[in-house]
Structures are given as C-alpha cells and as structure tokens.
Amino acid sequence: MLPPLPFDTLTAARAALAAKQTSAVELTKAVLARVDALDPAVKAYVSTYPERALAVAAEVDAGRRTGVLAGLPIAVKDNLCTSFGTTTCSSRMLADFRSPYDATVIQKLEAAGAVIVGKTNLDEFAMGSSTENSALFTSRNPWDTSRVPGGSSGGAAAALAAGLCLGSIGSDTGGSIRQPASLCGLVGLKPTYGRVSRYGLVAFASSLDQVGPFGWTVADAALLLQAMAGNDPRDSTSVRGDVPDYLAELDAPLTGLRVGIAKEYDAAEGVDPQVRAAVAAAVDVYRSLGATVVDVSLPHTRYGIAAYYVIAPCEASSNLARYDGVHYGHRTAEPVDGIIDLVSKSRAEGFGDEVQRRIMVGTYALSKGYGERLYHNALRVRAKIKADFDAAFARCDVIASPTSPTAAFKVGEKSADPLAMYLADVFTVTCNIAGIAGVSLPCGFTAGEKPLPIGLQLLGPAFGEVNLLRAARMYEAATDWHTRRPVLS
C-alpha cells in the first residue's frame, strides 16, 4: 500500500516547509509518486507536468520563489488558461489548444510560490455535475471508485481527496465547486462574484462563473483564496478594493452568530434522509456553540433551477459561438460544401451531447419571439432571488442547508436522465444567480460498507467571506469529519 503523504493539508505542509521538516522537492516528489500510482484508477488529471513542477519546487528550496503558497503542490481545473501544456476544457473542441497566456489566477498562484502539478478533468466546458460529460474520461470518487466525484470540477476534487495534490482550484457556475466538495468530503468555496478574476477562465456563463478553492480544511481554502483574490483590470467584473486577511481571525468564534434555516430548503424533495439528518445534526452543533437558529424564507428558490437553466444556456450559446472551426476550435477533416456545412460539421464533432443540448436550449431561448418570454423573465426571477437573499441576511448571518440532495451516486446512474442530473444542483444554483458567497464542508457520512461523505452548505452575503469562513471554521473545530481520509492502494 502506498504510504500517505507526510503532510496532507496546505497549512500543515506550509508549517513543515517553514520549519525545514521537509523540502518543496520532497513534497512534490511524494505527490507525483501518488499520481503515478493512483491516478490510473482515480482519473483526476487531464495532464501533469512533473519536470516543470520539480523545477519550480527546486526554485522554492533555493529561495528564488517565495510567497504564501511557496512549495505547495496544487492542481488546477483544465478550463483555466496556462501558457504551459494544453487547456482542453475536457472537450474535443479544444483538444490541442495551447494558450498563449496564463489566467490571472494562475499568475497569482505562481507568484505566491505554488507548485502546479497538473490540470484536472471536468465536465466538458464545465457543463455537468458528475464529470461524466467529459469528452476524455469519467473521474472517480476516491471514497468509492464506482461512484462519481461530482462536477463540473470533479477532477479537482478527486485529485485532492486521493492525495494527488495538497489543494486544488475549480470553477463554480451553479455549484461546480461546492457539489464535488460535498461528494468528496472536502471544503469547497465559491467566492462572491467579482472577488476572484475570471480573466483566462474559459467562459461558460459569464455572469455566473467564479473561480474558487478546494481544501481539506477551512484554513486551506482561506489560504488559497488569499492568494487568488483581488482586483484585475483585465476583468471588468472584478471588484476594486483591498482583499481582507481571511486567515487573521479564522479561529476566533463568531459571537452572536445567527444561522438561518430556509423553509424552502427544508421542504425540498428528493433529499436523502441521511443527508437531512446530518445537516440537522450540524445545525444542533451550532446551537451548542451558542449560535441562534432563525427561520428565514427564500420564496423564489422554487424557480431557481428553471431560471438557471435558461440564463446559463443563453450565455453558453453566446460564449461558445466562437468555436466554429474557422476562428477557434476543432475543424472537421470531412469534405464540406460551403461555410455553413464546415461550421455545422466542426461543431457536431467538437461538442459533446450535453454541450450541444445547452447551446440549443440557449439559442432557442434567445430567438425572436422567445427572448422576452424566457430569457428576460429569467432575469426578473434572478432579481427576485437576489432580493430574497438580501431580506434573509437582514435576519441571519449565514444560511445552512445540504450542499447536495444525496451523497455520491453511481457512475451511469443519472447520465441518461439530464433532468435528474440538473436537480442535483437544487441547493447550489441560487448562490450563483444571486452572486453571493457559499461554502461546503463535511458534516457526516452515510451508513454502509463504504461510507460516503455528506456536505453542509453555508451561504453568506456578498463579500462576506471573512465571516462565512469563520462560521464554517466554528463547526469544523467542533467536529472531526474533516480528518477522515479515503483508503486507496
């Protein structure tokens, strides 16, 4: 059996590096050894860069690279542009694409000294909840490799859960960080829209996409956010202003914390009883810590899935129009009869079924006679959902709910039923619609021969990450769910 990593959290490894208990090269070699041994079964990585990673680690050990992440091996989702290797979005459309530049997030991570081990698998163009929509392969959940790791950032979550990195970066358009974090037993943070630059993130739905971190602990997620956050003049939606110190008071409990319970979440259908019980027990832990539990209402939540699956496909239809085999992306090698035939064949070959489905839904919703009835109505619902959250946060500091209605499901269990897959995001999509912050953290495990993680979601107001992370840390410090690891051989 492969030995575990000597330090498997970012904060523990960072302290060990500072104390000279290990070196960046030794740590990177240990991670790469696990990648070689375990990734054939987990299938987390699309590409790895061992020589480059070891060269960066050697620069850290020589003192030529410094920063808050110096020497820490991490993985990044393969929809973030890198000037090294390919950026595929797990799509045939971009199978050979080599970006001429680094995304701002990549620049910030490397400026902070991070060692990027490789790029991870995702649902094609981030459209999915299981990584089964990847054109390359399906990533596997390290807790039970017959099950999915979630999506769309499933590869990033699986890589961390399997110990194939010490932290990872994903993107979240409707729950794509929080849902895989829940299914893989991790902490996953979706920052407020505008807190982290989207420059160099290959667009799915531009008004919903946000980059965020995975960690084993709240402190790990806070450390990664600290390195990534901040204004970027190349992203017009990036918010100006200083970045708070997310670690400074992370362990200071929030006095007078008010935890909101939305009756609409309580009444949601299709939630596994074990998930309900674990989340209810987590709320009881908050009570025991002195928090006040208050009832709130989010009346337009019932329209969240419908609004999301109009807004996101409409934006995807627009964003993915550039991949036509002429300007960008895969070009068919088949004989063609004119430009329309070229574009049609190139897109049919380059895009998978789910991406084609969402493009067609979005194009239809934006077409003449339907734009007002569908897209503009969805935007009106979006404003009402945001107003619901504003009213709720006047009564509470965070809102607690399940992250996912169920624990990790079997590979193939929902892939033939797109609607069932969409409903897996019932608790997560409204966070993106409203542009607020959300975090998932472990709160229990299912019963059975192979227990599976269950996630607690906490939602906080826009730019409220400091208190949201402190609230999450309060629960984490009172429990030990985050200390459990899957056994892989």
At residue 419, does pLDDT exceed 90? no
Helix axes 353-366, 304-319, angle to 10 degrees: 100
CB of 27 closer than 8 Å to CB of 17:
yes
What is the structure's pLDDT at 4? 83
Q: Which entry of 91, 134, 176, 238 is annotated as an active-site residue?
A: 176
Instruction: Please indicate whether residue 415 is annotated as part of the active site.
Output: no
What is the structure's pLDDT at 43? 98
Domain ranges of the chain: 10-255
CB of 55 closer than 8 Å to CB of 149:
no
Q: What separation in angstroms does the CA of 364 have from each of 262, 304, 317, 319, 371? A: 34, 20, 9, 15, 8
Please name the fold of domain 10-255.
Amidase signature (AS) enzymes (3.90.1300)
pLDDT band at residue 1 using 50, 70 and 90 as cut-offs: low
Q: Which helix (H) or strand (E) holds 276?
A: helix 273-288
End-to-end CA, the chain: 5
Q: Note the pTM of the prediction, 2 decimals.
A: 0.97
Using DSSP, state whether 27 is helix, strand or coil: helix
The residue-averaged pLDDT of 307-316 equals 97
pLDDT single digits (tens) 91-140: 999 999 999 999 999 999 999 999 999 999 999 999 999 999 999 999 99
pLDDT single digits (tens) 359-411: 999 999 999 888 888 999 999 999 999 999 999 999 999 999 999 999 999 99
The residue-averaged pLDDT of 311-337 equals 96
pLDDT single digits (tens) 235-275: 999 999 999 999 999 999 999 999 999 999 988 889 999 99
Instruction: Please indicate whether residue 152 is annotated as part of the active site.
Output: yes
Instruction: Please indicate whether residue 206 is annotated as part of the active site.
Output: no
Q: Percentage of the chain surpassing pLDDT 90? A: 93
Q: Which entry of 99, 139, 152, 346 is annotated as an active-site residue?
A: 152
State CA 422 to chain mean position distance: 16
CB of 110 closer than 8 Å to CB of 81:
no
Q: Which entry of 43, 77, 119, 345 is annotated as an active-site residue?
A: 77
Residue by residue, DSSP assigns 414-449 as: STT-HHHHHGGGTTTHHHHHHT-EEEEEEEEE--SS
Nearest to 182 by CA among 402, 451, 466, 422: 402
User: At CA 106, angle to CA 113 and CA 422, rounded to 5?
Assistant: 130
Q: Percentage of the chain surpassing pLDDT 70? A: 100
Distance, in Å, from the CA atom of 86 to the CA atom of 95, rounded to the nearest integer, reads 8
What is the structure's pLDDT at 370? 87
Q: What separation in angstroms does the CA of 479 have from each of 108, 232, 385, 441? A: 32, 37, 32, 11
